[in-house]
Structure 1
Amino acid sequence: MLQTSDYRYTVNRDTLTIRGATESDQGQYWCRGQRDGRPNSSTSSSAVSLSVKDLNPKPELTSDPAGAALTGNTVTLTCRMDPSTGNWDFYWYKHTLNPETEKKKTNYSLKIDSVSDGGQYWCRAGRGKPVYYTQYSDALWVNVTVSPKAVLTVRPDERVFRGETVTLRCDIKWGGDTEWTYRWEIEGTNNQYKNTVSRTSTQELNISSVDLSHRGKYSCTGQIHTQSSQRSDAVTLTVSAEAQASVRVSPQPWLTEGESVTLTCEVSGSSKGWTFSWFRDHDHLSDSSRGAGGSYTLSPAALQHTGVYTCRAERGRPAYYTHNSSSQTLWITGVSASVSLVINPSRSQHFSSDSLSLSCEDQSNSAGWTVRRYTDKDTQTCAKQTGSGCVMDSLSTSDTGVYWCESESGERRRPRNITVHDGEMILESSVDPVIEGETLTLHCLHRSTNSPILSADFYKDPESDDRRDEHHYCLKVT
């Protein structure tokens, strides 16, 4: 029989309380009831085995992920007890031993909002009423570092053209040899994430032939295990149908030999990563050093530099090419230029099916000069030569181009623009360049009469007015 005289044992009718249980209290326990009447005792109960473990067990505290925690992420703390010891409640402590106000389960999710969320954490287990507490776990340091921000770059440019190859790269400035994985997000034009690329071990997202469906806002994040970097700023990828090169000239396209002139090649709406090729009269110019940076400079300009210039831009690997630019004619004359290109009728615009004659006239000797021309198709000698002249009996729009006089040695003189139209009206203007300060007279000619129209409206910069004839610059008033 149990010696209840021990102060640690208290019997209250049907309840035995053992205070401060020790290993010596281990063993088999059973009970039976007693009363004054007969029979005065019951049969014995079944035995219960009491096992007393070590005094004050200590839980184990771990974190996932282990190591440094990044702001903006969540760290899971786990307090473990030997499962053979039964069921426990867990109490959590941060920095000091002041407990959290509520009991929690074995896992504690710690949201890392700032560096101040780092520090020492403990846990202990408890159960029963009054509560029996285990020892505190060993302290666990949660080291918090500000999460790095991903940086997204695009090659060759944020504005690209259909068919180009585009590379987006996600960089994260972070010390050490940490291997990041990457997540890409694409926000479409409907302001919803239309496509999310799953994690990939590569830093780069390559689009081999971009099209209009690739337009949108791109961003990326880096991940280490369950933690993420800050998301990069979004980069808007703009995709246009095609790239168009254009040429501008400074200070003017007509000059005297010995002066300087610069041609500049530009791609509308895009300036990054382009290299440029230059052509004169459809022939590729090999002196590419003059075209560095999109500028082609002639200094000093010589007579042989006269001609029609175009440019083309390219970038990327594989190379993407723009269309050739519209043409720009350079008119370079000698200090004492004696040769003139005479055009009859003497105007820059002509009706189709009309006739036109051109001739090279030299004050000293016209022999050895021929009429040459540049069109969208090629550069050639005028088809119907008559000595130093050229006759075209029935013009067509394909005869539009630049015409000049060329000597047997290749010297070029007096280039002039001639355009041929199928419409009912043309603008009669001087075939020669207009010098600043001179008086300029313009007429509207009608095909049926080939004479000036008495009443007409004139327009400057016709592309700004929908009512204009884009070729003729004038409108008949009825």
Structure 2
Amino acid sequence: MELSSLSVMLLLTVLLHCGQAQAARPKPTARVETQSTVYTGDTVTLICELQTELTGSQKFHWFKGPTLKNLVELKDVVGDRVSVTASNTGTEEYQCVAKDGQDYISDYSDSVKITLRVRPKAKVRVQPTERVSIGDRVTLTCDVESGDVRNYEWLKDNKPLSDAQRKKEYEISAVDESHTGVYSCRGTQSTQPLYSETSDAVTLTVESGLSRAAVGLAVGLGLSFVLCMTLVLICCYKKGKGAGSVFSSNENQQNMDQSVSGPANSLSESAADAPQTKAGDVIYSQINHSQEDDAVPGPSGALHAQNNKKKANGKGKATADADIVYSKLKYSAP
């Protein structure tokens, strides 16, 4: 009986000491150094405070997460005053605890919350285009999505561009190869957020050789030459076609005149060469017969001819076109 009472007393003593040890763990306090609005990309200072001072190897460790089950320890972030970079929009929670090696000498602090806002982002616009020729005029403009921007910071190849500082627009009247590079910008102001997110880089390429104006002039002259040559060819074609029609018409008219005047001229020449005769004399004349009508008009009606085809060899066959025909001509004295 006495042994059982002694065991109970020992057990109670151990439990009491354990409870006192657990209750003796201090609880630190975590807070943010500045309570102003925080934007993505900002650096935030976290402070962990404990009433009792830490000695020796005792240090504060930091964890990120909403609850104890989801805490993630921040590597290489140790101390009562640390800096972290806000990366995500929304709410982030942090807690701190004091440790001596692997032993916890304090409880976890209550969570400290940080509300993050999206930082306005700048954007570079290039006019007329990002690829230009030597001598062209180029304008680079820094646009910020929101905020009352007062000043602008320009970078070329990640170095400050002194010629464009504090300007919204950076204008180059005549570019040369030295202006080739990577450009970016951001806006700054006196209120939060103090600066915008840096824009995405834009590459300006300056090409050597003919400028765009010269190229455009060359193309225009080439098109004008082609158009002129086309008009000349069309005019020549129409002119040649018209001349051919007139020549063909004239040739046909000449052929018709020759076919009509030929027999009459032959007859006139034959009559002119005939010997002088008296009235009532019979004249035999040699006439080449053609397929035209037998009646041939005489000059002024004074001479009339009637062709009588002779029959060859007395066999009744008609003579050919080239056979000799004897005509009986009756001459009428004028």
Question: TM (normalized to structure 1)?
Answer: 0.33
- If you compute each CA radius of gyration, which structure gives the higher value, 1 or 2? 2
User: Greater RCO between the two (CA within 8 Å, min separation 6)?
Assistant: 2
- Which of the pair is proportionally richer in helix? 2
Structure with the higher fraction of residues in strand conformation: 1
